[in-house]
Amino acid sequence: MKEKLYIFDTTLRDGEQSPGASMNTAEKIRIATQLEKLGVDVIEAGFPASSEGDFEAVSEVAKKVVNSEIAALCRASVNDIDRAWKAVRHAAHPRLHTFLATSDIHMTYKLKMSREEVLATAVDAIKYAASFTDNVEFSAEDGSRSDPDFLCQIFETVIDAGAKVVNLPDTVGYAIPKEFGELVAYVMKNTPNIDKAILSVHCHNDLGLATANTLAAIHAGARQAEVTINGIGERAGNTSLEELVMTLHTRPTYVPVTTGIETKRIHPTSRLVSMITGIMVQPNKAIVGANAFAHEAGIHQDGVLKNPMTYEIMKPETVGLTSNRMVMGKHSGKHALRKHLKNMGYDLSEDEVKIVFEKFKVLSDKKKIVHDEDIEALVNEGILRTSDIYSLEYLHISSGTTVFPTASVKISINGKVIKGTGTGNGPIDATYHTISEMTQTRSELLRFSINALTDGTDAQGEVTVRLKEDGLIALGRGTDPDIITASAYAYVNGLNRLEYLKQNPPQESGL
């Protein structure tokens, strides 16, 4: 019988530490709900001590999710643990996840603590956390660069103190699969009470080896994997849930473990996270990239037509892709849209369906066929941005070879509508300059990109911007058949995310 591999998803915590990928409470709840349907065992909802906004988000996720465990991250301190427990105590299955650095370089230069002091602090933190719940996890930050014997010592000590999960992070993505697997095997062999806890791993992708390192660790005995959707996270990101799960699914004899992941929900979950964070999935990304199941070479196409297994090691349907889609258009009614939304994984209320349907009818007047990607964008625009400070009400552009680019804009600021006009080097520059003056913001545009959501000349344009202001970075995203309008939506979305960050400054956890 196969052993259980627990999937610990940290998209809402470590994933949110991607530059600009901040999420508000409604967005976190939407992703958490989808992660629960996906079948993840543990959802790390955030770092409650980092900001009031994150505390609120963790609390609301804890109240909403029923089946998955909800973890709150906290440093090894009484104040952090109190804050984390207050946020997560509402959960049906709460977990406290505390961490402390164990590598010599971190202990010497960051913590300025001896090994004995680190051991004592870790034990005190675990005992205090265990006074609230018996579901406590301890992470040895920078574990892959820690002395193996000290790792075994601290794991043994915290397990005795009440930790049910001990986590070995490759915090800076330094490990190589062979050595990381050997380190996990060493810990498994030389920690006397390791049978009383689950050994977890948390790998970063700085050298592009996060998934490989995690697989090596599982092969060596780790039974919890900490992952994110699309591999997002600090710096180069984390182990990708979809890559790890589908590797185990496709190669079931490599490691005799099983997960509770419903693989058909992988692609919709990937799209949702991409929409909400504004972080685009690269076309050649494994499993969920646009080219993952595309075949252009003639010899490949010929082989796939004869037998898909010649060039496809897994079926697209396995991860939630299907060519048998219901065609949605201007004659589709609200009932059909509601059913289609449910099939896509969205359980919306009647009021939310009404909002999406109104936007759907407007879009269907512009397009013959409304694709799933279009509908996802409508959900994002209509449901997940209800508390924005800025809202675009009207945009008119004058531009051309003989016309100086001019933008006329009507924008709502906290419910108050104002009008403005401005010029620029082009229609988008004029739009951004005008909105900036109206909102009295001074953000720097670091990146601007345009993609088509679907094929065809009537496809919606999807614009992503990266804005920087006062050291804060936010991503903005907008969609519309008109790319200038989409650009305006993206800019306004980015400004709203910057305002959220100003109220809830991000704080890195270090894992």
Q: What is the pLDDT of residue 359?
A: 85
d(CA 25, CA 28): 5
Closest CA to 17 of 54, 42, 52: 54
H or E element at residue 55: helix 52-64
Q: What is the pLDDT of residue 307?
A: 60
- Are the CB atoms for 451 and 255 separated by under 8 Å? no
Q: What is the pLDDT of residues 86-121, one digit of tens each?
A: 999 999 999 999 999 999 999 999 999 999 999 999
| Residue 1, number of CB atoms within 10 A of its CB | 5
Q: 3-277 and 390-503 share one CATH topology?
A: no
User: Mapping DSSP to helix (H, G, I), strand (E, B) and coil, where does residue 465 land?
Assistant: strand
Q: What percent of the chain has pLDDT over 90?
A: 65
What ranges in 131-207 are assigned the alpha helix state H?
Answer: 148-161, 177-190
Q: What is the pLDDT of residue 301?
A: 44
What ranges in 201-349 are assigned the alpha helix state H?
Answer: 210-219, 241-250, 266-277, 298-306, 334-343
Distances (CA, A) of 503 to 385, 396, 496, 499: 16, 32, 11, 6
Fold of the 3-277 domain? TIM Barrel (3.20.20)
User: Of 67-81, 164-178, 228-242, 447-461, which range is least confident?
Assistant: 447-461
What residue segments make up the domains of the chain, in order of their start? 3-277, 326-370, 390-503
**Mean of pLDDT values over 249-263:** 94
**Mean of pLDDT values over 165-170:** 98
CA atoms within 13 A on the CB side of 296: 3
Please return the burial class of 361, using the count of CB atoms within 10 Å of its CB with bins 0-12, 13-18 and 19+: middle
State the DSSP code for 425.
S
> For the domain bounded by 390-503, which CATH number is listed?
3.30.160.270
Name the band, by pLDDT with cuts 50, 70 and 90, for residue 300: very low
Name the band, by pLDDT with cuts 50, 70 and 90, for residue 385: low
d(CA 511, CA 504): 20
User: Of 405-409, 434-438, 478-482, 499-503, which range is least confident?
Assistant: 499-503
Q: What is the pLDDT of residue 347?
A: 77
d(CA 354, CA 361): 11
Q: What is the pLDDT of residue 348?
A: 82
Q: What is the pLDDT of residue 295?
A: 46
Q: What is the pLDDT of residue 294?
A: 67
Closest CA to 494 of 426, 446, 460: 446
| Residue 450, number of CB atoms within 10 A of its CB | 13
Q: What is the pLDDT of residue 312?
A: 66
| Residue 286, number of CB atoms within 10 A of its CB | 14
Q: Which residues have C-beta within 8 Å of that of residue 60, sequence separation ≥ 6? A: 25, 28, 29
Higher pLDDT pick, 238 / 313: 238
